[in-house]
């Protein structure tokens, strides 16, 4: 076991701007090494020699791992780690950790807020009040859509998907889902294909991880299956959606509306989605409260502390679960 004073010499690379609380804790415990971004071209000889861990919001590529021969751990900030090449890390005996669970309820709350805003036009109605339209024009028009009578499909019934489903149950809405595997013991109706789920429901919430297996899974065919009364909400990753197909479906009435917290090329949002009257758009704020980001920061840094003091991770990702600490 490493004693705390020995942790002070462990160099932890922190690319770009990072969470303030995490930075404070890393500074108290480790030797923080700054780098503008996780780019192998910016790695110095000193970094090559000293860096044993990376703590990061952003992605870590295979090339970045290869540039740091003494790298043991990547402590990724966030539950989704699609921007970290975890398969390559596993092959190189580098541990990757993420921050599951501590953000689940916050992200589920955001999803419900986004769904209601999309269907009941809260943002537009508030704007109507604030810009004086209520006084000059009268009541805000009745919303075209409602949550009442909807049947919701969850694409990704994992930790967050389940927290969303529990909330929807309290709203009196039936829930169905699609995962690659049925969740044993869960009473919600399971659909073995996304297409089957989209056909069965009128409201589709995507909360699957990014990456090759979900790339553009929500495409023109899935949106057509959702139908003209369809509402699509994405809280997972933007890469899961074929954005031009979504913009077309919103413009030509294939579906009714969409609520999006995530985009394929953040922070850039396609003009067609920005200008569509039937979208509700958020700047990736699913977990973005001080409360939850602090809990995520603590788990991110606790993984660093556990790895370098106990030689074990707290929350390893599945691809690196068998990685062993170097002696
Ligand atoms: P999780 O517990 O691992 O759940 C992911 C679910 O997706 C699992 O049920 C999994 O089931 C399913 N899934 C994965 N790949 C699939 C595929 N190819 N086809 C169908 N289903 C698939 O993860 P979580 O904690 O709920 O987080 C989910 C994701 O939400 C994260 O990865 C992240 O991208 C996103 N997220 C976004 C925000 C935000 O701020 N907007 C915040 C937090 C998380 P199977 O393995 O059986 O398929
Ligand atoms: C964060 C997220 O915004 O946890 C995730 O997967 O998408 C969000 O909670 C992000 O990780 C911060 O970098």
The domains found in the chain, sorted by start residue, are 4-102+290-320 (3.40.50.720), 104-281 (3.40.50.720)
Per-residue exposure over 26-60, b if at least 16 CB sit within 10 Å of its own CB, e if not: beebbebbebeebeeeebeeebeebbbbbbbbbeb
Q: Which pLDDT score, from 0 to 100, does residue 58 have?
A: 87
Give pLDDT < 50 ranges for the chain.
none
SS3 265: strand
Q: Which pLDDT score, from 0 to 100, does residue 4 have?
A: 74
Tell me the C-alpha distance between 122 and 110, whole Å.
14
* DSSP assignment letter at 157: -
What's the gap in Å between 187 CA and the centre of ligand 2? 29
Cβ–ligand 2 contact at 18 (below 6 Å): no
Tell me the C-alpha distance between 44 and 68, whole Å.
10
- 233-259 per-position pLDDT tens digit: 999 999 999 999 999 999 999 999 999
Question: Looking at ligand 1, which atom is closest to the CA of residue 81?
Answer: 32
Cβ–ligand 1 contact at 67 (below 6 Å): no
Active-site residue 178, yes or no? no
Q: Which pLDDT score, from 0 to 100, does residue 3 have?
A: 57
Cβ–ligand 1 contact at 89 (below 6 Å): no
**Residue of 21, 48, 195, 284 marked active site:** 284
Residue nearest to atom 6 of ligand 2 (CA): 80
Q: Which pLDDT score, from 0 to 100, does residue 326 have?
A: 86
Which ligand neighbours the alpha carbon of 206 most closely? 1
Active-site residue 266, yes or no? yes
Q: Are 71 and 53 in contact (CB under 8 A)?
A: yes
């Amino acid at each position: 076991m490493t004693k705390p004073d020995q942790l002070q010499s462990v160099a932890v690379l922190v690319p770009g701007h990072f969470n303030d609380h995490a930075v404070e804790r890393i500074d108290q415990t480790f030797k923080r090494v700054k780098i503008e971004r996780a780019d192998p071209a910016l790695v110095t000889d000193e970094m090559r020699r000293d860096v044993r861990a990376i703590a990061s919001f952003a992605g870590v590529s295979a090339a970045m791992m290869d540039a740091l021969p003494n790298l043991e751990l990547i402590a990724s900030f966030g539950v989704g780690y699609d921007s970290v090449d975890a398969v390559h890390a596993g092959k190189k005996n580098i541990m990757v950790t993420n921050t599951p669970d501590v953000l689940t309820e916050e992200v589920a709350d955001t999803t419900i807020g986004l769904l209601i805003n999309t269907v009941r036009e809260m943002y537009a109605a508030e704007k109507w009040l604030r810009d004086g339209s209520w006084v000059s024009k009268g009541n805000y028009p009745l919303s075209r859509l409602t949550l009442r009578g909807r049947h919701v499909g969850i694409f990704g019934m994992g930790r967050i998907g389940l927290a969303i489903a529990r909330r929807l149950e309290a709203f009196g809405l039936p829930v169905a889902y699609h995962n690659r595997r049925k969740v044993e013991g869960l009473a919600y109706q399971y659909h073995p294909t996304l297409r089957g789920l989209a056909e069965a429901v009128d409201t589709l919430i995507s909360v699957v991880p990014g990456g090759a297996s979900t790339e553009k899974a929500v495409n023109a065919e899935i949106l057509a299956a959702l139908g003209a009364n369809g509402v699509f909400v994405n809280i997972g990753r933007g890469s899961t959606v074929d954005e031009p197909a979504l913009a077309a479906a919103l413009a030509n009435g294939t579906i009714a509306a969409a609520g999006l917290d995530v985009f394929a090329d953040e922070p850039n949002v396609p003009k067609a989605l920005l200008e569509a009257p039937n979208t509700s758009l958020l700047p990736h704020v699913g977990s973005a409260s001080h409360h939850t980001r602090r809990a995520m920061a603590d788990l991110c840094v606790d993984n660093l502390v556990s790895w370098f003091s106990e030689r074990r991770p707290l929350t390893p990702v599945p691809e690196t679960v068998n990685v062993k600490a170097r002696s």
